[in-house]
Structure formats: C-alpha cells, structure tokens
Amino acid sequence: MKAGTQDMTKGNPFRIILQFAVPLFLGNIFQQLYNMVDAIVVGQFVGTGALAAVGASGSSYSLIIATVNGFASGASVVIAQIFGSGDAERTRKAYITTWKVLFLSGAAFTLIGLLCCGALLRLLGTPSDVFADALLYMRVMCVGVLATCLYNGMAAFLRSVGDSRTPLAALIISSLVNIVLDLVLVLAAGMGVAGVAAATLTAQLLSGVYCLVHINRTMPQMRFGLHEFRLDRDVAGEMIRIGLPSTFSTIVVVASTMFIQAAVNRYGSLVVGAYTVNVKVENICMCLAFSIGLATGIFCGQNVGARDLKRAIQGFHAGLLIALIYSSLMGAVMWFFARPMNALFSSDPEVIRIGSEIVRITAVFCPVLGILFVFQHFLRNASDVMPTVVMSFAEIFSRGVLPFVLSVWWGYYGIWWATPVGWVLSLLIGLVRYRSGKWKEKAGLVNADA
C-alpha cells in the first residue's frame, strides 16, 4: 500500500514524528479556522449576543459527536497497528468496518441531537437572551453530523497508514469554502448563526468527500461493494475494545467543559463571550501540541503492531521533547499577545479584558497540556485505554467541582483555574501509569526487548 502512506517502523523517530506532525498541525489550524471565522463573523458583524450563542451551544454539540469521534479514535489505533504489522487484507477489513460503524452511529446521533439539543441547552442554563440563537445553531449543526463523521473517519484512516497530507489538502480547500460561505450567508443573505452553521457543515462535507475520492483513486484495493459492507468480527471487536473507552473518555472531557460552561453562563453574555474567545485562542495556539501527540500515538501504534517496543519508546521520548519545546514557546506568545488575540474576535473592551485574563492563565499551563497530549495518545495507541479514561475523570472532577467552589471566593475569575488544575492531575496519572510499565501488557509487549 503506497500512495502517500508511510511506514513508521523505519527511520529516525524524531524526524518522522516532526514531519508527520506538521501537516497534522496545518490541518488542525485550518479546522480551527472553521470555528475561528465563525466567531469573527458573528462577533464583529452580528454582535456579542450571537457570539455568546455560538459559544453556549459549542459544548453541547461536542457532546453529541463525542461518541462518533471516540470510535474514530479507536479505529485509528487498530488500523495503525494492523498496518504496522504489514497485513494488507486486515487493513482493508478495518477500513470497511470503520465505514459501517461510523455511518450507523452518525445517523443515530443526528436523531438524538435533534431531539435533545433544547434540553441540553436548558440544562446548562444558557442565558435567555441567546437561547433562541444557540438552539438554532445547534439544530443546524446536528443535521450535519454525518458530514462530520465522513471526514473524521476518512482522515483517521489516512493518518493511521501514514498519510497526513491528504487530510490537510482537504481542510485547506474546505476552509476557503467555509470563509466564502460565511460571508455570503451571513453578510449577504443575513442568515445569522444559521448561516454560520450551514457554511461549516458544507465545508466539512466537502473535506470528507475529498478524502474519500482520494482513497478510491489512489488505493483501489480499498474499494468495496454493498455486498462487502459488513463487519469483520475480530476487527470490530478490537475497535470496540479500544473505541468504547476512548469514546467514554471523550464524553467525560466534553461533559467537563459543559460544567465550565454552566458555571460561566451564570455571569451573563459578556463573560460567556469572553470565555468563547479564550476557547478559540487556546484551540488555535495548541494545534501543533495536539498534532505532536497524535503523531506520536500513530508512530507508537505502527511500532506496537510491528512488535518493536524499543522503537515505540524512542518515539514517545521524541514526542515529549518536541511537545515541551513548542508548548513553552506558544505559552509565551499567548501571554504577551493576549489582548490582540482577543481583539481579533470582539471589539467590546470588557470582553477583551476578561478574555485576556483567561488566556494568560491558560498560557502558564501550556507546557502541561502539550506533554499531556503525548501521554494520552501514546497510551491509547499502545492499547492501554483505561488509564486515559481515569485521566479524563481527573479533568471532569476538576472542572465539575472547582468552578463552583472557586467562584464563591473569586467570582468568575476563579472559574478559569479549574481547567489547568485538571490538566495537572491528568498528567500525573499518565506519568504514574507509564512509569509502572503495565501499559506493555496491554500492548502485548511484556517480553519484548526495550
């Protein structure tokens, strides 16, 4: 299997991870550009209320697609391990299995999302002045869950076999489409938050179709007919074993952000808008750190499949070093440029002031988050997924308790400390697990040479 794929069981680990992470990083930048452009358009041209509406519905929508994305993560681990073992036929079976499960789960969660989005927003205490727009935005986004599944599934497959460039090309094209559609639907057509959501979903569908066409054109052995559209029990069982804890972990993390959102919502649309801006800034600034973690995980997955423990550990150490250097530099950038970053999203002085406070707190803990990404992806791709669930519980405990406790003393300022504390606790759990060596048992590498 060639066509842009990469065998990570050979070559310098540091160079391979860094080279593989760069397209992932650029892809994440363009993916974040979707939400960034959405926030800029509604914040600058519709108003702070519309910006708050998009932010208030974000965590609820993320919860709906968390299950689908969690399975895509599990599928990615399995595919990387099978590909690393050199078994082409099982790689094809894993691809077909991914298709079916993502289609079924995507259809189910489209329906669930449409039925439950109003209740979720009420549960979070969404401010009444933005509730209608938040509900409209979320309903439109739920209609496009299948489009999101298509891209995430195809991109996960391509990355698992070492192709990080095609998902990047797809995102560049679709990001440009998203920008144009945002301007047309919001400014020209006056559709408001519904136009922003429709533009995003159209762009996501385009990126998924692009990846699918590329796979069919360059990897003809992956094509399949309806008579082959069935689950391989062994492959599906392994995907479920890894995917379910990954899904649960993702849901737990998303649920923890909902606790933060609920705490923030008590302080009105200005604070909600400032918190929304911080989330955008954090996501865009930490894209490379996440990409380094993902690249390290895929490197590990392929080498676990090849039964090479020593090389997997070398890749882990290389990923840690790269992540530490980058996240430290990015933390400094976020600290010194907090106000200009916030001004990009909103012209409201109070939103900029509050948002800058949040960004600077986040900036201090950027190195922790960068290293945390590497631990999470490494353990998951070594098939040791349960510790990542425990790590996620540390985050939900921190975000579920501290925002309400600290805000009693410090008001909304106390809320901003909950997430960094969760990162620290999660990282400590991952460190203890790695040092114990028990992850080797899950990877089936107990007797391998290190």
User: Which pLDDT score, from 0 to 100, does residue 272 have?
Assistant: 82
Q: 446 pLDDT band (50/70/90 cuts)?
A: very low
- 324 and 370 in contact (C-beta within 8 Å)? yes
Average pLDDT, rounded, for the chain: 82
Token code pair at residue 212: 């699918």
Phi, psi of 6 (to 5 degrees): -140, 125
Who wins on pLDDT, 298 or 45?
298
User: Which pLDDT score, from 0 to 100, does residue 304 have?
Assistant: 86
User: Which pLDDT score, from 0 to 100, does residue 424 have?
Assistant: 93
How far is Cα 82 from Cα 69, in angstroms, rounded to an integer? 20
Question: Which residues 6+ apart lie within 8 Å of 145 measured at CB?
Answer: 64, 65, 68, 106, 109, 110, 113
pTM: 0.75
Sign of torsion, CA 202 206 212 216? positive
Burial (CB < 10 A; 0-12, 13-18, 19+), residue 50, is buried
Q: Which of 145, 197, 141, 209 is nearest to 171 (CA)?
A: 209
417-444 mean pLDDT: 88
Who wins on pLDDT, 399 or 296?
296
Q: 268 pLDDT band (50/70/90 cuts)?
A: confident
User: Which pLDDT score, from 0 to 100, does residue 4 have?
Assistant: 59
Token code pair at residue 88: 């082409």
Q: 77 pLDDT band (50/70/90 cuts)?
A: confident
Q: What is the pLDDT of residues 184-201, one digit of tens each?
A: 887 777 787 888 888 888
115-142 mean pLDDT: 81
How far is Cα 23 from Cα 29, in angstroms, rounded to an integer? 10
Q: What percent of the chain has pLDDT over 70?
A: 89
Q: What is the pLDDT of residues 312-351, one digit of tens each?
A: 999 999 999 999 999 999 999 989 998 888 887 777 888 8
DSSP, collapsed to helix, strand or coil, labels residue 72 as helix
User: Which pLDDT score, from 0 to 100, does residue 229 have?
Assistant: 63
User: Which pLDDT score, from 0 to 100, does residue 317 have?
Assistant: 95
Q: 22 pLDDT band (50/70/90 cuts)?
A: confident
